[in-house]
Structure 1
């Protein structure tokens, strides 16, 4: 069976951060978005990134890592349109693992465990760390049409909530599934 496609959502505006968040270095010197992308492609080499149109710095950085890059002309409308653009670009996939580019500490092993669950027939998957559901979230191809029609800034949250009975939770010791970076001060906590 083919692996699901990893979709790195990297088209946000980062207004709370105040600058190009995804190119900002972590304390180890690696840019936030590059760290997230690297973990994703280590687990799922055929991953893609969805970016804002014309974001040449990110396009170049992600392409150099080996990601196929999709520009979402509707990125300003919210995360849902970026997720839909990623699914539309890979519509023949067996499933998708959706990860956020501002979550650079998710371990490749966590992504691989979620992909394995999808490969073994799960409809929808998400990791859980210390009783909290995190990211990335995975979907089988069953959800293709619903994912392709997403809009707004909630991403797939409503789809997951309405179909919670389909969601398989994967327990993990990976705190990175809960750690995103919204503000410059968050970088110091890494």
Structure 2
């Protein structure tokens, strides 16, 4: 197994879905969260998933998968709570963490591998951020281990933007096909539009 971790923050309330849970919506016959975890596992990296608690319905969609599930009791404080707790509970020998949003259905295993390979190819630890083909920054993002302390002090719901800004001098952009690095589905309207656009290529239900 790689000594790199992939952290999937999945402890949010899915509040913009108006009563539905975006992470249990089906794509290719699988709940989105399980599909994302499988794609992460296929890289050979350690995979950790944050959940509001171990009895949350999302835990059922991960059943049987060899992933680390991390409870986030203060998940109502936003994305930073998932990142703080997730990074804090990673195995001690991890040299970098890829933060992979759970609601990005177009991210493929090879996209995650591109970030990992780019990190491994540099002579000193560099942050790696996925971009679209036109250069727009997006996700996933890889943080070397020397960023872990900063990740564990994040607050609010803005992810790790400030850490990226402070480390701009050692930030490498990794281009992914199309707009994969930006496509997320967090409203019913976004799901409807995405499903319509992919009705000929995905088994969606």
Structure-2 residue corresponding to 1:155: 159
Partners in 1 of 2:100 and 2:61 — Cα distance? 17
Partners in 1 of 2:163 and 2:126 — Cα distance? 12
Structure-2 residue corresponding to 1:140: 144
Runs (5+) with no aligned partner, structure 1: none
Name the structure where helix makes up a greater proportion of residues. Answer: 1
Structure-2 residue corresponding to 1:10: 10
Structure-1 residue corresponding to 2:169: 165
Report how far residue 183 of structure 1 moved: 0.7
Q: Deviations over 1:3-47 (max 9, x none)?
A: 310000101111111212111123x33222222222111124421
Report how far residue 54 of structure 1 moved: 4.3
Following TM superposition, where does structure 1 have runs of at least 4 consecutive aligned residues deviating by more than 3 angstroms?
none
Structure-1 residue corresponding to 2:46: 46
What is the 5 A alignment of 1:102-117? 102-117=103-118
Aligned partner of residue 16 in structure 2, secondary structure: coil
User: Rg larger in 1 or in 2?
Assistant: 2
Runs (5+) with no aligned partner, structure 2: 196-205
Report how far residue 2 of structure 1 moved: 4.0
Structure-1 residue corresponding to 2:190: 186
What is the 5 A alignment of 1:58-137? 58-90=58-90, 92=92, 93-120=94-121, 121-129=124-132, 130-137=134-141
In the comparison of the two structures, how many residue pairs are matched? 189
- Identify if the C-alpha distance between structure 1 residues 77 and 122 changes in structure 2 by more than 3 Å, giving closer, same or farther: same
Contact 1:63–1:69 (CA under 8 A) maintained in structure 2: no
Aligned partner of residue 56 in structure 1, secondary structure: coil
Report how far residue 55 of structure 1 moved: 4.4
- Identify if the C-alpha distance between structure 1 residues 32 and 181 changes in structure 2 by more than 3 Å, giving closer, same or farther: same
What is the 5 A alignment of 1:28-43? 28-43=28-43
Partners in 2 of 1:114 and 1:41 — Cα distance? 15
Q: Relative to structure 2, which stretch is displaced further, 168-177 or 54-63?
A: 54-63
Report how far residue 87 of structure 1 moved: 0.7
Partners in 2 of 1:63 and 1:69 — Cα distance? 10
